Amino acid sequence: MYMKKILITGGAGFLGSHLCRYLINVGHQIFCLDNFSTGSYNNIKNLLNHPRFSLVKHDITKEFHIDDPIDEIYNLASPASPIQYQIDPVKTLQTNVIGMNHVLELAKKKKARILQASTSEVYGDPMIHPQLEDYWGNVNPIGIRSCYDEGKRCAETLCFDYYRQYNVEIRVVRIFNTYGPFMSPNDGRVISNFIVQALSGKPITIYGDGLQTRSFCYVDDMILGMVAMMEKNELVGPVNIGNPTENTITEIAETIVSLTDSSSGIIYEKLPEDDPKKRMPDISLARMNLDWYPKISLQDGLNKTIAYFKHEDEKKNNAV
């Protein structure tokens, strides 16, 4: 197999670190670029001494250059949870727009194929269900989530304009809710929040009435979908990558309480502004063109994720 030189921006993040490990394990050379605003050294510490892994500490809102030839670029550089991206919304927008432009410029110079990790948030609070790739979305352009939603929408625009104007080889995937080991316990995502609360016996906090829905894809399935899209010729996207099984937030909470054998009750708080009521992908394009669909059940994925959080808790307790 040809060893590719692959740049992963945001490579120390949750998804990025899984992608680094997968691509190293199949024989490629990885350049992991991250500014560690939300990424973590802990996510990549087992890779730091690997001969085919190089860490580049950099912020993609500033221009950069990689001396080595680059065959492929995965752009995952962006805060991804509402708590993270609302800390500095201007920086979030700049990362997704100015940063995207810098990464596309590098792809153009290196003649590299680039995959943009876009998001289901481009659909906003959708008026159609499930969401198809040809749906243009229902997004508030001036709300508290706009820095991320509109930033990702503009990043897709830049990708397609570089594709049409400069013949840059792009791939665009729209990632739906993903979970698994190496999630940050403090990032405010539904599953990590619920697991941390359940393991500590604290009340599970649900925002809204709990009837809003999400579709959760285990991280190993997500990585395979992204790689399949990168390797597919003559398919630009966008393509939805996610789990087409829909669950209410209350169902997720009750499942996690059961799997952790927790005594946690459930409390309800006000739903944040512009929080989507429904979210579920139509993955017909991915099935047809990539022969991809998620294979890991929610219960199996949650058990793996719970085991990870338990192990992390044990390490902290032993270190005290």
Active site residues: 148
* Torsion-angle region of 308 (φ positive above 0: left; ψ -120 to 50: alpha; else: beta): alpha
Q: From 276, 278, 239, 270, select the one nearest 140 (Cα to Cα).
A: 276
Burial 284-315 (b: 16+ CB within 10 A, else e): ebbeeebebebebebeebbebbbeebeebeee
Distance CA(257)–CA(263), nearest Å, equals 7
Structure-token pair, residue 183: 């999630």
Distance of CA 97 to the CA centre of its chain: 17
Task: Check residue 62 and report its DSSP letter.
Answer: S
Q: Is residue 44 within 8 Å of 12, Cβ to Cβ?
A: yes
Q: From 139, 147, 162, select the one nearest 97 (Cα to Cα).
A: 147
Pairing assessment for the beta strands 72-75 and 5-9 based on DSSP bridges = parallel
Q: Is residue 170 within 8 Å of 163, Cβ to Cβ?
A: yes
Tell me whether residue 234 is exposed, middle or buried, using C-beta atoms within 10 angstroms of its C-beta: 0 to 12, 13 to 18, 19 or more. Answer: exposed
Number of H helices, E strands in the chain: 10, 13
Q: From 123, 48, 126, 115, select the one nearest 77 (Cα to Cα).
A: 115
